[in-house]
Amino acid sequence: MSSDFARPSAAELAAAASISASTIHEAAGKIGALPAPIKPLDPKITVCGPAFTVRGAPGDNLWLHHALDQARPGDVLVVNVGGHYEAGYWGEVMTVSAQARGLAGLVINGCVRDGQAMVDLGFPVFARGTCMRGTEKDHNFKGDLAQPLPMGDVLVNPGDLVIGDGDGVVVIPREQVGDAIAASNARDAREVEMMEVLRTGKTTVEIYGWELK
């Protein structure tokens, strides 16, 4: 459960911070999209950082507390709670702790509570929604920290790049981050050029040769 795993470099994180989730997902080969219901509590907020993975028990948030104790500043907690969504696994108190420890955000395949308080605090929280139901703390359950973690059809590894915005969350394998950033920048540049052409009145059908036969 060591937090001593490789992470993207500071330069890579700085370069990735301005790239949208949809852009890097497409540019990297349409990979890494987490389940679509996982969205930011505040649609204007974004997150970018290395993944610190957490596997907890359904209806139980003890391993999220362990993650708060172990994760490093700048990490994004990426959490799977075993498919039980009718619980608020994270709230205002844990958010205050996460901010004090310098964490970059939370991505959870489950629900949270105290939603407005977290929006007011400005901490990036990406979840399936909000739920007021409380959680338990089963000290006999063996969870995992900083281990490979399935999130939908994506396997998230510790240190992978996490990018989230209003469209959702994407995870890029750490060893592909540099290439994904370069491909994203190239894609954005092509789209800028294309939009200039579209402003002249041409359509995408004309540009791409998609005329009806």
pLDDT score, position 94: 98
Report if residue 213 sits inside a domain. Answer: no
Report if residue 5 sits inside a domain. Answer: no
pLDDT score, position 3: 82
Report if residue 117 sits inside a domain. Answer: yes
CATH code at 183?
Answer: 3.50.30.40
pTM of the predicted model as reported, rounded to 2 decimal places:
0.95
Domain residues for the domain of 136 are 10-208
| pLDDT tens, residue order, the chain (213 aa) | 568 999 999 999 999 999 999 999 999 999 999 999 999 999 999 999 999 999 999 999 999 999 999 999 999 999 999 999 999 999 999 999 999 999 999 999 999 999 999 999 999 999 999 999 999 999 999 999 999 999 999 999 999 999 999 999 999 999 999 999 999 999 999 999 999 999 999 999 998 999 998
pLDDT score, position 1: 56
Report if residue 111 sits inside a domain. Answer: yes
pLDDT score, position 155: 98
* DSSP codes, 101-164: TT--EEEEESEES-HHHHHHHT--EEESEE-----B--TT---EESS-EEETTEEE-TT-EEEE
Report if residue 124 sits inside a domain. Answer: yes
The total number of structural domains in the chain stands at 1
Report if residue 112 sits inside a domain. Answer: yes
Report if residue 29 sits inside a domain. Answer: yes
Report if residue 120 sits inside a domain. Answer: yes
